């Protein structure tokens, strides 16, 4: 109980509450502007959090992500362009509802669903994370090796599109992680003679390049017309009844989203697609889906925000990110000298609870801020890209510069921006690369440590029960695409 009070006193200060509010407003604006995603918003926020204390820093990221994922529904509904990939699953339904002259209904439903799902995800986080952490204190380097491999495999194989391309992306990330002086032997690797690369590739400029510069390039090559925006009715009128009617979808969406999000390597976009499919299968009117039906919006809308919160479970407990945003969070935690893992639950539990409370506040802020952004979205959508794209580029440059105070960081940003853009053009997912960069050292370190402990006996990796379970999960993941390919050929 004292821990909870300590956590409350950490959060309810003017500085932290102000940070949460500012980050939430930023998130909701970024999400509402088409072409700016939640991950991009987080990537641009990180250089500023770099200078903050741990609690406001993490709280800011959590708040920005939660509001941006909801606000991504706004361009999705009004223009049929999902603001973030997590909104893509139900964009047809929301847009059809807008075309039928009920934009306030589509956005009101997705706002309430987002808040509800987010709160469910946070509750799961609050209950499951400390329990798992207690369990995880018994883990050795072997379990951590398998966990890192499981997270990376999930990211590469479960990602949309070709699994082989996911693997390419992952390998690129792992290779980037190996650049710099090897921790174990002190040997410089792939530094190309550069002193700046001795310490490794700076994570924040790399991530800004891959998520933000890539998007600027994509937006630059695909200009958009300013949309016609519809007139809105009162957002809250009849909303309560509509939500009450769909309580089953809400609960199921929140539950499935929480579970998918808690898997290492699977995030909000996958959760939304899974929930949309589940809603359709269990609906009395599956034929109405995609034509302006509310069940999919409610269920998948709850699911993606639930996944966003639940993705923090593997992040905080094992140090294995659940999606791109939490991969960035891990980078930030390391920069703050906080190594994610069960130890932070024991050493600094008040910090963990403070993060949970910040998350809860951000999700509750969704309703007032969501209402405000729905009312002002007409104007937000009309901001010409010709002004905000250069501003975003400038903030990318300053953010990359500010981490190490050198222009070398800006160079890293440029290189990774080009790589990310080439990846996207060729259907290679970017998220596995980021997870590879974050987890590469952990994977290598735990592998080498385990092998040194066992004096080269590879059997050490399957000698403990949890390790065997994780090993089977990793193997099942890798065999699944091969099985799918084989079955596809047999049916053909």
Partner 1 sequence: MKLNDRLIGILAILGGIAIISGTFGFREIPGQQFGSAFFPRIIGVVAMLAGLVQIFTANGGPAVTIPAELRGRGVFVAAAVLIGIVLWILLAPLLGFLLITPLLIFTLAMIMGGRALPALAVSIGVTVLFYLIFSSLLRVPLPRGMIEGWLL
Does residue number 165 form part of the binding site for partner 1 (CB under 8 A)? yes
Are the C-beta atoms of residues 447 and 145 closer than 8 Å to each other? yes
As given in the structure block, the two tokens for residue 486 are 């084989």
Q: Which two tokens stand for residue 80?
A: 């049929």
DSSP structure class, residue 225: P
Nearer to partner 1 by C-beta: 178 or 242? 178
Cβ atoms 340, 316 nearer than 8 A: yes
List the x/- string, 251-290, binding to partner 1 by CB under 8 A: ----------------------------------------
Return the residue matching tokens 């996207």.
Answer: 424
- Note the helical H segments in 137-246: 141-158, 163-178, 203-208, 214-221, 239-245
CB 103 within 8 A of CB 97: yes
Q: What is the DSSP letter of 320?
A: -
Rounded to the nearest whole angstrom, what is the least distance from the CB of residue 470 to partner 1 in the complex?
Answer: 19
| Positions 318 through 347 that interact with partner 1 (CB under 8 A) | none
- Rounded to a whole number of angstroms, the minimum distance from the CB of residue 228 to partner 1 is 19
CB contact at 8 A, 27 and 40 = no
- Residue closer to partner 1, measured from CB, 193 or 465: 193
What is the Cα–Cα distance from 34 to 378, expressed in whole angstroms? Answer: 12
> Which residue in 198, 452, 468, 476 binds partner 1 (CB under 8 A)?
452
375 near 71, Cβ under 8 Å?
no
> Minimum distance between the CB of residue 389 and partner 1, rounded to whole angstroms?
6
Q: Which of 167, 215, 147 shows the shortest CA–CA distance to 439?
A: 147
Q: For residue 366, give both structure tokens.
A: 């969704």
CA pair distance 314, 215, nearest whole angstrom: 28
- Among residues 433, 399, 435, 393, the alpha carbon closest in space to that of 416 is found at 433
488 near partner 1 (CB under 8 A): no
Contacting residue, 361, 413, 471, 477, with partner 1 by CB under 8 A: 413
- The Cα 329–Cα 282 span in angstroms is 36
* Given 447, 464, 466, 473, the residue binding partner 1 (CB under 8 A): 447
Stretch of 37-45, 60-68, 105-113, 405-413 contacting partner 1, by CB under 8 A? 405-413
- Binding-residue pattern over the window 20 to 59 for partner 1, x denoting contact by CB under 8 A: ----------------------------x--x--------
d(CA 199, CA 181): 6
**From CA 357, how far away is CA 359, in angstroms rounded?**
5
Based on the shown chain and the rule CB under 8 A, indicate whether residue 215 belongs to the binding site for partner 1. no
Number of residues binding to partner 1, judged by CB under 8 A: 56
Select the span of 22-30, 63-71, 164-172, 199-207 touching partner 1 (CB under 8 A). Answer: 164-172
Minimum Å gap between C-beta 443 and partner 1 is 8
One residue of 220, 346, 372, 468 binding partner 1 per CB under 8 A: 220
Interaction between residue 414 and partner 1 (CB under 8 A): yes
Q: Which residues bind partner 1 (CB under 8 A)?
A: 48, 51, 164-165, 167-168, 171, 174-175, 178, 182, 184-185, 187, 189-190, 213, 216-217, 220-223, 384-387, 389-391, 393-395, 397-398, 401-402, 405, 407, 410-411, 413-414, 417-418, 422, 425-426, 428, 444, 447-448, 451-452, 456, 485
């Amino acid at each position: 109980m004292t821990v909870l009070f300590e956590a409350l006193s950490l959060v309810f200060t003017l500085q932290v509450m102000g940070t949460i509010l500012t980050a939430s407003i930023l998130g909701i604006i970024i999400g509402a502007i088409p072409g700016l995603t939640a991950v991009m918003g987080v990537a641009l926020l990180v250089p500023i959090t770099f200078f903050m204390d741990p609690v406001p820093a993490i709280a800011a990221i959590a708040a920005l992500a939660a509001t941006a994922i909801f606000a991504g529904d706004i361009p999705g509904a009004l223009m049929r362009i999902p603001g973030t990939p997590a909104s893509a699953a139900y964009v047809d339904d929301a847009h059809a509802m807008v075309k039928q002259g009920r934009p306030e209904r589509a956005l009101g439903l997705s706002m309430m669903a987002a808040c509800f799902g987010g709160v469910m995800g946070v509750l799961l986080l609050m209950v499951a994370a400390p329990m798992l952490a207690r369990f995880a204190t018994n883990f050795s380097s072997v379990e951590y090796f398998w966990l890192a491999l499981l997270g990376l495999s999930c990211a590469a194989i479960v990602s949309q599109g070709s699994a082989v391309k996911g693997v390419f992306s992952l390998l690129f990330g792992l290779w980037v992680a190996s650049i710099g002086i090897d921790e174990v032997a002190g040997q410089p690797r792939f530094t190309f003679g550069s002193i700046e690369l001795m310490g490794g590739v700076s994570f924040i400029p790399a991530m800004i390049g891959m998520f933000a510069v890539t998007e600027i390039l994509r937006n630059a090559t695909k200009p958009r017309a300013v949309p016609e925006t519809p007139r809105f009715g009162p957002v809250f009128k009849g909303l309560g009844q509509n939500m009450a009617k769909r309580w089953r979808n809400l609960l199921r969406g929140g539950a499935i989203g929480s579970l998918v999000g808690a898997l290492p390597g699977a995030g909000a976009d996958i959760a939304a697609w899974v929930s949309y499919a589940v809603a359709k299968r269990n609906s009395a009117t599956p034929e109405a889906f995609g034509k302006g039906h509310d069940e999919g919006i409610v269920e998948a809308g709850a699911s993606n925000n639930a996944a966003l919160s639940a993705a923090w479970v593997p992040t905080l407990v094992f140090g294995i990110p659940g999606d791109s945003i939490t991969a960035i969070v891990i980078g930030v935690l390391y920069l703050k000298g906080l190594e994610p893992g069960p130890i932070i639950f024991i050493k600094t539990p008040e910090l963990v609870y403070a993060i949970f409370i910040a998350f809860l506040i951000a999700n509750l802020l969704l309703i007032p801020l969501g209402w405000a952004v729905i009312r002002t979205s007409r104007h937000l959508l009309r901001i010409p890209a010709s002004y905000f794209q250069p501003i975003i580029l400038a903030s990318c440059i300053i953010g990359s510069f500010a981490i190490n105070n050198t222009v070398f960081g800006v160079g890293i940003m440029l290189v990774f921006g080009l790589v990310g853009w080439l990846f996207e053009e060729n259907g290679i997912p970017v998220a596995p690369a980021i997870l590879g960069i974050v987890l590469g050292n952990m994977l290598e370190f735990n592998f080498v440590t385990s092998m040194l402990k066992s004096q080269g006996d590879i059997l050490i990796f399957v000698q403990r029960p949890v390790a065997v379970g994780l090993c089977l999960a990793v193997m099942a993941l890798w065999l699944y695409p091969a099985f799918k390919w084989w079955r596809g050929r047999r049916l053909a």
